[in-house]
Structure 1
Amino acid sequence: MIRTTTMEESTQVWGACMNDSGFPVALDAAGGMSWSAATEAQQKDYETAMYLCVAQYPWDPKAYQPWNDAQLRALHAHQTGEVTDCLTRLGHPPPEPPTLEKFSADYRNNVSPRWHPYHGIPSPTTRPASALASSARS
């Protein structure tokens, strides 16, 4: 480990690390990171480089604290509102969301897999996440 990062800066730090590792990435205004498509032969090297960058610059342990009720309410509202609406407009309606009570209980009980609005959409390697995000803002 070189140093910990905040959640806010991690994408920039990991992006610089990936660039230094020979995998050019682009950062967008929304804080997302996209990369040039690696060939199949490079895919394993890319995944190893990403693993090493995240291991060298992990999130500060404070980022891993359990979420409180207010945070879970905000996350549920965001994912079932803005994110669900955006994905639906893009032709990727998410599965039926759970109630706030089930959403919170699943989080607290570490249920896996938990509901997430992105389940079932194309992989970022198929369509860059930055393209999906910029389409949502349209």
Structure 2
Amino acid sequence: MSVNEVRQHIGRTAHTRQMLAVSLALALTLLLPGCTSQQNPANLSSTAKVVFTPKDYQDVMWDSIMARFPDAVRPEVPIVRVITDEDFAPLYEQCMHEEGFEVEVYEDTGFKAFVPEGQDEPFSLAMYICEAKYPRPTEMGVAEDDASGHLLYSYYRDSLIQCLTDQGFEPEPLPSETKFLDAMSTDERYDPYAGLLRTGGLNFSDWETLNEECPQRPAELE
């Protein structure tokens, strides 16, 4: 096969963006030692937000690329401007075209791209460049109350960790419930998805598909 057609679902819906942002927030607190108090869940109220800068987001995206392509060389990418979701489609299509790839963006579902065989790494680099040039604001509160914490722990223990394992992933070991609850409002907060993103065990391009098979949170907390 000379050409592979790849349909990438990259989380344009509000729900998917929200759930990915939770994992990003937690991954960033451990990936980035220079995080400010704005990015530290220990300082959050139940209505506070975690806000990452475009540079933070670039760092997390690049860690994901390095997990797949360890010899990749990170390009210097100047930020053109911060955009809205409404701006995304035409700018992304144009940028990817300039990088040598034709993509078609679908509203709320992602995009379709034609990737020549053997071009997975250049395609991933092109995605990184275009996302870095035109970042979108990313923010999400991560605080939970005690009742939600107990429910979340039970869901991780009884469902999510086994589901991720069945899908071929190796989530970090679940701590005791006491330790889990004590860490809920700190940068040591346990989250299986955040751990996979942080260690490179999960790529952003696979995140939405996996979340459909193994929802990140129980339905009661949606």
| TM-score, length of structure 2 as denominator length | 0.38
Q: CA deviation at 1:106?
A: 1.8
Partner Cα separation in structure 1 for residue 177 and residue 86 of structure 2: 34
- CA distance change for structure 1 residues 79 and 45 in 2, over 3 Å: closer, same or farther? same
The count of aligned residue pairs is 120
| TM-score, length of structure 1 as denominator length | 0.53
Q: Which has the larger radius of gyration?
A: 2
Q: Does 1:85 align with 2:175?
A: no
| Structure 2 gap ranges (5+) | 1-12, 19-83, 97-102, 216-222
Partner Cα separation in structure 2 for residue 121 and residue 41 of structure 1: 19
Greater relative CO (CA pairs within 8 A, separation 6+): 2
| Structure 1 gap ranges (5+) | 1-5
Q: Does 1:116 align with 2:194?
A: no
The letter for the 1-side match of 2:15 is: E
- CA distance change for structure 1 residues 122 and 58 in 2, over 3 Å: closer, same or farther? closer
Specify which of 8, 18, 28 is matched with residue 15 of structure 2: 8
- CA distance change for structure 1 residues 128 and 74 in 2, over 3 Å: closer, same or farther? same
Alignment correspondent of 1:17 = 88
The letter for the 2-side match of 1:87 is: L
Q: Compare the two structures and name the one with the higher strand fraction.
A: 2
Alignment correspondent of 2:138 = 58
Specify which of 182, 189, 193 is matched with residue 105 of structure 1: 182
On the 8 A contact 2:161/2:192 being kept in 1, the answer is: yes
- CA distance change for structure 1 residues 56 and 109 in 2, over 3 Å: closer, same or farther? closer
- Quote the RMSD (CA, aligned, Å): 4.2
Instruction: Tell me the alpha carbon deviations over residues 58-96 of structure 1, each in whole angstroms, 9 at most, x when there is no partner.
Output: 34xxx4262111222222222222211212222334333
